[in-house]
Amino acid sequence: MNARLTRSALGAALLCLAAGAQASSHREAPFITTVPKVDATDFYMFRSYEAGRDGMVTLIANYLPLQDAYGGPNYFALDPNALYEIHIDNDGDAKEDLTFQFRFKNKLSNNGAGTSLNVGGKMVDIPLIQSGAVSGVKDANLQVNESYTLTVVRGDRRSGTAQAVTNATTGATTFDKPVDNIGRKTIADYAAYAAKHIYTVAIPGCTTPAKVFVGQRQDPFAVNLGTIFDLVNAPVSVITDPALINAAPNTLADKNVTTLALEVHKDCLKSSPAGDDVIGGWTTASLRQGRLLNPKPGSGHQASEKPGGAWVQVSRLGMPLVNEVVIGLKDKDKFNGAKPKDDAQFADYVTNPTLPALLETVLALPNTAPTNFPRNDLVTTFLTGIKGVNQPKTVTASEMLRLNTAIAPVPFAQQNRLGIVGNILAGGSDNAGYPNGRRPKDDVVDISLVAVMGGLCMANGDTDKLGFGAACKPSAVPLGATAFKLHDAVDQAQVPLLASFPYLNTPLAGSQ
């Protein structure tokens, strides 16, 4: 393995190691905690498993973590002064070739005047975002209407060719976002209301119509945050017993997130229909370099701020868990601002990863942390892709999700929650899951725990059938079966999901 690959190992090991801390990308860096509207929580990329849609790839970027359903009166509109993006690398050089850009606008009703009531002969603006029951797009009872535009950029995200994505039926370039799930009295049937905001769209340069949905969803990630961040305050007898994979409650079960979802034909994401079947993906959010605050804001929606200057990337997410618990605290903001092509700068976090040793210590499991440095098994699995599964024909080691679009999707009921690792354990045939892309059902915490603690080295065998190198042979890394037994005691497969696009469940209501 060349020095470039080895030094780029950062995201690989770290991403896996992150799993040990069992948290996706919620509030993972110092700066991002101050601007939660641009905090990416999870990124998914998978072949669509909805019946009749298997030629499509679904891309899901979730933002604004830990939403309490009752969080009114303003709820969780996205930031109109931010740029949200989903990037695709389709030639393996760790640079974006295709970018989908989302920009938002939150406008007061009545051309910015808002909704007023006649109170004692005076028209006075109401304090809520709704004045009555809501059921339709651009409902008259909404005081704040949220909308967005979607642009596809080919080439560099800032200097490439940009074209508007349009409504395939009307040709419109603006799409409406449903208001958050305020409660049952305001929105009696939220599922039906939200479904009216799923649009069939035309992407320039793509002959097959795509779909887009932006709106609130129930957080699909399962984790026990408090326990894990408290030095894995869980009994070893539980987290090493595979029969107890659902022994603990999911901390995020009562939280919502905001979803940006696209469903695009797989050939539209490749460099050409005959191009490399393996694509890489990640999401970012950017803010303007400058912000001017008005000490005496006037009337209007979000009238307190005037942004300006160049776009500055402040959030980044490809593989789950990397920045949350892998990157050192001092470099978390730096990682959020970095691009995959520059990932070699974080190599020390991978060449000498700390999390396996930390887990060995806090769990009192001596001699369980792998010592096969550098961790080429993790580099291959998470930074370059697995040969014959999701490794591009040409590859630059970097942190992003990689998906082989030629591997057929597996129906939801037959999906192995452990993805490729599940195949190793049970001899299955589900290669359509993490780390080959990521589906909502994939238990990335448990998968990563197995990998980081040497489970893939054990599966590699002394014949090196996975191509990880001699240092990863079981005879060189005698770890026993502990790695295959580890789990976080929260079962990802128990999270409620939808059978069709946008796949993530209807958000929890603010009141019943």
Query: pLDDT tens for residues 66-97?
Result: 999 999 999 999 999 999 999 999 999 999 99
d(CA 181, CA 463): 54
Contact 283, 85 (CB under 8 A): yes
Phi, psi values for residue 127, rounded to 5°: -90, -5
Average pLDDT for consecutive 10-residue bins of the chain (512 residues)?
34 33 65 94 97 97 96 95 98 98 96 94 96 97 97 98 98 98 98 98 97 98 80 86 92 96 98 96 97 87 86 95 79 93 85 79 85 82 87 95 97 92 77 95 89 80 80 77 83 96 98 94
d(CA 279, CA 247): 36
| pLDDT at site 122 | 97
Single-letter amino acid, residue 38: V
| pLDDT at site 1 | 33
| pLDDT at site 213 | 99
d(CA 496, CA 256): 13
The structural domains of the chain, with segments of one domain joined by +, span 3-494
Single-letter amino acid, residue 337: G
Strand 210-218 to 175-177 pairing: unpaired
Strand 122-125 to 116-119 pairing: antiparallel
